[in-house]
Amino acid sequence: MTVDEQKLMEFVHRFVGDLGATMAAGGIVVGDRLGLYKALAGGPALPQELAERTGTAPRYVEEWLRGQAAGGYVEYDPQTGQYSLTPEQAFALTDPDGPIFAPGAFQLALGALKAEPRIVTAFKTGEGVGWHEHDEDVFSGCERFFRPAYSANLVAAWIPALDGAEEKLRGGARVADVGCGHGASTELMAKAYPASSFTGSDLHAGSIEHARKRSLAGVTFEVAGAQSFGGGPYDLVTTFDALHDMGDPLGAARHVRSQLKPDGSWLIVEPAAGATVADNLNPVGRAYYSFSAFLCVPSALSQEGGYSLGAQAGEEPIRRLVTDAGFTRFRRVGETPFNIAYEARP
């Protein structure tokens, strides 16, 4: 084997960068949980000062700050020895309700990685790993990762783009939010359209138990799969980053159609993806393929149906599913760097 030294070093640099990023994920979650980022957003600080603001140990905070500065997550002033956050860093690291919240993504990643022994076994057997088998950080991290995009786009852009849906919601519509998880998407819609009624459903009983604690007027939550939820006919059915986790997505699509009114809409929000593998060989595709191998594919293969779209399925497989389920209209109605929104109608 002949090794090109320059190419080898390029690969080593990539490896070192990934190793640092992997370990930094833990530091980001620590910074979020201990309020270190929020405290630092209040103004530049020496390690001792930040420790005093947060009730933490100075030596740990000092090492944490050094690593954060090396990774570009905080700023360091060698003249004063102080650390600080730029407005952009504070924007992405301190507001869980903002349009970008990085700590939630890292919480999800760390939670997913705890299943590594099960995933290794699944690779050998081809069997699935159920969503319920994952660490609690997967469920909380999933909400905290996706909620910012929903907060920024669901009511402001995606629903208004649907044909006639917003008018119905303002007047009083019936909505099913399928695969709702902790209920963040259900909550956002319920608060924006108080005249409407909402039913959130999910196969994971633990997530529904959490969702019920939201105590929202006009909202009920139930444990049910996408192939079995009831209560129709609905004016609107929604699935947010959930269709690709289902073992029988075609069965789910058929059931959604059966629960819709003739003039109803199905809002499908899925991870952003291109049409081919080559189109997805980019940072977003890398993140989603990696999450998919640990979460999405194992979850789908653990269910009846034995089929898995994966997080990077792209538009055409979803269009085929919708068409095969009997829908006659399908179109893209919105997109962000992380999601694409589609509308399907009977």
* Coil, strand or helix at 161: helix
Q: What is the pLDDT of residues 245-294, one digit of tens each?
A: 999 999 999 999 999 999 999 999 999 999 999 999 999 999 999 999 99
Structure tokens at 30: 């620590």
Structure tokens at 100: 């970008």
Helix spans in 72-157 (H): 87-93, 102-113, 116-125, 136-153
* Coil, strand or helix at 236: strand
Residue ranges of the chain assigned to CATH 1.10.10.10: 5-93
Distance CA 139, CA 134 (A): 8
Residue 219's DSSP bridge partners are 198
Using CA atoms of 268, 269, 275, 279 in order, give the dihedral in degrees to the nearest 10: 180
At 306 the pLDDT is 80
CATH 1.10.10.410 describes domain 5-93: no
Of the pLDDT bands very low, low, confident and very high (cuts 50, 70, 90), residue 216 is confident
Structure tokens at 231: 């209560």
Length of the chain: 346
Q: What is the pLDDT of residues 83-140, one digit of tens each?
A: 999 999 999 999 998 889 999 999 999 999 999 999 999 999 999 999 999 999 999 9
Distance CA 279, CA 258 (A): 34
At 1 the pLDDT is 82
Q: CB neighbours of 149 closer than 8 A, spacing ≥ 6? A: 99, 336, 338, 339
Distance CA 42, CA 307 (A): 49
* Nearest Cα residue to 259 out of 224, 210, 209: 224
Hey, how many other C-beta atoms are within 10 angstroms of the C-beta on 22? 12
Which CATH number describes the domain made up of 107-345? 3.40.50.150
Of the pLDDT bands very low, low, confident and very high (cuts 50, 70, 90), residue 323 is very high
Asked whether the predicted pLDDT for residue 74 surpasses 90, the reply is yes
At 22 the pLDDT is 92
Structure tokens at 60: 């740990």
Asked whether the predicted pLDDT for residue 184 surpasses 90, the reply is yes
User: Tokens 């399928």 sit at which residue?
Assistant: 178
Residue ranges of the chain assigned to CATH 3.40.50.150: 107-345
Q: CB neighbours of 344 closer than 8 A, spacing ≥ 6? A: 253, 256, 265, 266, 268, 322, 327, 329, 330
Hey, how many other C-beta atoms are within 10 angstroms of the C-beta on 346? 17
